[in-house]
Chain A
Amino acid sequence: MPSITSLNLTHFHLLLNHVPTIGSVAALGLFIIAFIRRDEGLKLVGLEVLFLIALLTFPAFFTGIAAFSKLRGQPGISEAAIRLHEDVALYGFTWMEFAGFIGWVALWQARRRGRAARGLLNTSFVLLIVAFAVMARAANLGGDIRHPEIGGAAVTIAQAQFLGSKISDVMVNSPWAWPASETVHFLGLSLSFGVLLAINLRILGAMKRVPFAEVHRLLPWGMLGFGLNLITGILFVVGQPKQYIDSAPFYWKVVFLMIAGANFLYLTVFRKAWSDTRGVWTASGADKAMAYVSMFAWLATLYCGRMLPFIGHSF
């Protein structure tokens, strides 16, 4: 069986890099139509699309780092142009995750109150516009890497000036940055695990008399753990990209993370279970299968991460 690392991530980057920009246009369009029509349901759809875009922005970013290592040193490729593209993409990624996070809070709350809170909705809308603008700039700079003929100005910034280089410098040279991030990563994973265990066990039949709405209250704590791990995870990837490129367990980890993230969205908006306020709802076979997939995806994400030094080549 060919290894997952035989995939050419540069191709994936050329595919996925459209998600943050074109996806944002789609989500913004949905929001605008929903605002004009005052359609509460469509606003929620917009928020769900935003969450999925924020999720897919991670592989879009990571495959870019992998593409960098492939293109580096090829004739006609300016390393400074790539680093500038990466920096702007990193800013865009940060804005996008921020928009996705606020959007998720709006979705979570909408499940509880029946409609999305206007303040949260407007905030995620504005954040998404910013994210889109920064991502469009990143996309433009990305085009300059391969297409100097369309008139990109030569980039003349010293390597040490780039944000990516600065993060990498701190992560590699500081005696505490890496260990501290690892520690936070472990705390975050435990928090996420506990919350998802509680929710999935409810679906599988533990806490039977408890309305799903009550376990749903725990979700933001799971999101907190997830957020801590996203931040520290990005610090690892930007800090030491070589540890993750061409690493089969890391590629799989990203795959499982996408499954787990999509499942997290489903648990947030889960309609069937939600309508039950008296604790009489019991899960169907499909719901139970979903709960098992969720727990498997989280365990698999952890497995791939912990195995990075052994079946990958991280230290």
Chain B
Amino acid sequence: MGFLTWLESLPLSVWVHESPSVWAQPTVMTLHTMGMGVLVGASWVLDLRLLGISRSIPLSAFRWVFRAVAISLVVNIVTGVLLFMARASLWGTAFPFLLKILLVFASAATLLPLRSYVLQTPDDQVEVSSKARRLAMISIAAWAAAITAGRLLAYTVAG
């Protein structure tokens, strides 16, 4: 556990964890939540389109989703790493936290094949391949599970 304790003792980690400033933990957490809303929300909108809502919008019109996802993913990786560092020895050894990270990876992993599908599909093609539909369903469920796991950390690990 030497590494986790070392990580936790870095000045930045201590600042996030212990500073009474609203710019420390409160702001980092709030940015993490905002990033989550954009990341998951934008992914879900694309998933809904793939599953048949607003079918007449050409898939190529959804390219903005990947830009929104990329920006919010960066925000959430940075804020997530900061929140992890602040209590590294707690999170690093907690099974529910590792489960959450696994779910986030699983959800994010659907983004790359979905992106290449969106970029490759011609505008006049209305049918969505069954593989893309399956990915969309996995994406909806996996993000929901990731949010659930993340939210419950406050009650299971850090409570």
Contacts and interface: CB of A to CB of B under 8 A. Distances in A.
Interface of A: 179, 182-183, 186-187, 189-195, 197-198, 201, 206-207, 209-210, 214-215, 217-218, 221, 299, 302-303, 306-307, 309-311
Interface string B45-76: 10010000110111001101000100000000
A190 B44 contact: yes
6 contacts: A182-B154, A193-B41, A209-B61, A302-B34, A306-B26, A307-B22
B22 A311 contact: yes
A194 B151 contact: no
A193 B42 CA distance: 8
A217 B22 CA distance: 39
Contact of A214 (B54, B150, B152): B54
Given A209-B61, A217-B54, A306-B30, A197 B48 contact: no
Contacts of B150: 186
Contacts of B143: 190
Contacts of B61: 206-207, 209-210
A194 B41 contact: yes
Given A214-B54, A214-B57, A303-B30, A207 B64 contact: yes
A192 B41 contact: yes
B57 A215 contact: yes
A179 B34 contact: no
A179 B152 contact: yes
B103 interface: no
A291 to B, nearest CB: 13
A182 B56 CA distance: 35
A303 B37 contact: no
Nearest to A195: B45
A215 B54 contact: yes
Contacts of B38: 193-194, 197
A66 B80 CA distance: 36
A306 B151 CA distance: 12
B33 A302 contact: yes
Nearest to B48: A221
Given A182-B151, A207-B61, A210-B58, A194 B45 contact: yes
B150 to A, nearest CB: 8
A187 B41 CA distance: 9
B128 interface: no
A217 B53 contact: yes
B41 A201 contact: no
Interface string B13-37: 0000000001001100110011011
A263 to B, nearest CB: 16
Given A190-B36, A217-B53, A302-B37, 8 more contacts: A186-B147, A191-B44, A194-B44, A197-B45, A201-B64, A210-B57, A218-B54, A310-B25
A66 B158 CA distance: 31
